[in-house]
Amino acid sequence: MADVGVDETLLKGIAERVAGEAAELVREAWTGMNAGREVRVDTKSADTDVVTAVDHESERLVRARLAELRPDDAVLGEEGGGIAGDGVTWVVDPIDGTVNFLYGLPWFAVSVAAQVGGVSVAGAVVEPVSGRRWTAARGQGAFLDGRPLAVNAPSRLDLTLVGTGFAYKVERRTKQARFVAELATRVRDVRRNGAASLDLCAVAAGWLDAYVEHGLGHWDWAAGALIAAEAGAQVSLPGEDAELGPDATFAVAPSIAAPLRQALLDSGVGGI
Ligand code: IPD
Ligand code: CA
Ligand code: CA
């Protein structure tokens, strides 16, 4: 890989600006849809795995803006594909939480991250409906609308609130549901909010104590995992903790990391 000089602050600003512009497009479309405007919906890996015309429009806007602002960088987007480059690669989820978007639930976001060598160095997750902006740059902390974020410090496993998510494929989901049924008997409660990027931001804000999910795409975690880590979470990404499963993403408040990890293993997380 080429030696890339990186200005994380600059990249964070661009991520926030571009995600914010796409979020505005998504917000207008969502408002129109809720007022009865038709939105084209297709399916992907399963009948439950949906993509709307708005996902495509949002990604097109992000790509067009990045082409103007950062013409030499690579872009990897959920809908348009792409491959990582030698320098900065932008990793884009044009709507994370598309099922929520489609049902009128306001919990979805545009996620844009800058990565170098597969490592996130800056990112932004912007929520179209609330307007909340979650941002982070490597070594500079994480912020919600400019306010610094810090994870919780839970001390009891049975009082730990854990977020998770399910894959679209039924075979995988069956195993995930078994694991969650077991986990739910050992922790305060389990949340399935429907947008991985925002689950990771929720850990950063202390709205969740931990989050675990198997099978995320690169675009699901690229910005949110940096935001969680910069707020003090212990984070393992797909490929980093084989015992939790080869494609597990785990973000947790450090005070409860060891007992929760053990509880996940005891609940059968490795077999998912
Ligand atoms: C999905 C959401 C969901 C998670 C899935 C993701 P999408 O992203 O983040 O919460 O459980 O694994 O694929 O399809 O809405 O962009
Ligand atoms: Ca996603
Ligand atoms: Ca998406």
Confirm whether residue 272 is marked as ligand binding: no
Give the residue ranges of DSSP H helices in 89-191. 98-103, 170-183
Could you tell me the CATH number of the domain that includes residue 98?
3.30.540.10
Q: Which of 98, 126, 148 is the last residue of a domain?
A: 148
138 and 186 share a domain? no
User: Which tokens hold the place of 4?
Assistant: 């890339």
236 and 261 share a domain? yes
18 and 140 share a domain? yes
User: Rounded to an integer, what distance in angstroms lies between the CA atom of residue 201 and that of residue 211?
Assistant: 10
204 and 235 share a domain? yes
Q: Which atom of ligand 1 is nearest to the CA of 164?
A: 11
44 and 110 share a domain? yes
Q: Which atom of ligand 1 is nearest to the CA of 197?
A: 9
Ligand 3 center–CA 105 separation, angstroms:
15
pLDDT of residue 270: 87
123 and 183 share a domain? no
Residue 1 domain-assigned (yes or no) = no
Residue 182 domain-assigned (yes or no) = yes
Could you tell me the CATH number of the domain that includes residue 222?
3.40.190.80
129 and 176 share a domain? no
Q: How many domains in the chain? A: 2
Residue 129 domain-assigned (yes or no) = yes
- To the nearest 10°, report the CA torsion of 198, 204, 208, 209: 140
Q: Which of 220, 247, 249, 272 to mutate to test the pocket of ligand 1 (most atoms within 8 A of CB)?
A: 220
pLDDT of residue 191: 98
Nearest-ligand number for the alpha carbon of 99: 1
pLDDT of residue 4: 60
109 and 174 share a domain? no
Q: Which of 148, 168, 190 is the last residue of a domain?
A: 148
Confirm whether residue 158 is marked as ligand binding: no
Instruction: Flag residues of the chain having pLDDT under 50.
Output: 1-3
Confirm whether residue 86 is marked as ligand binding: no
The domain containing residue 231 runs over which residues? 157-271
257 and 235 share a domain? yes
177 and 66 share a domain? no
15 and 142 share a domain? yes
Nearest-ligand number for the alpha carbon of 78: 3
Q: Which of 105, 130, 148 is the last residue of a domain?
A: 148
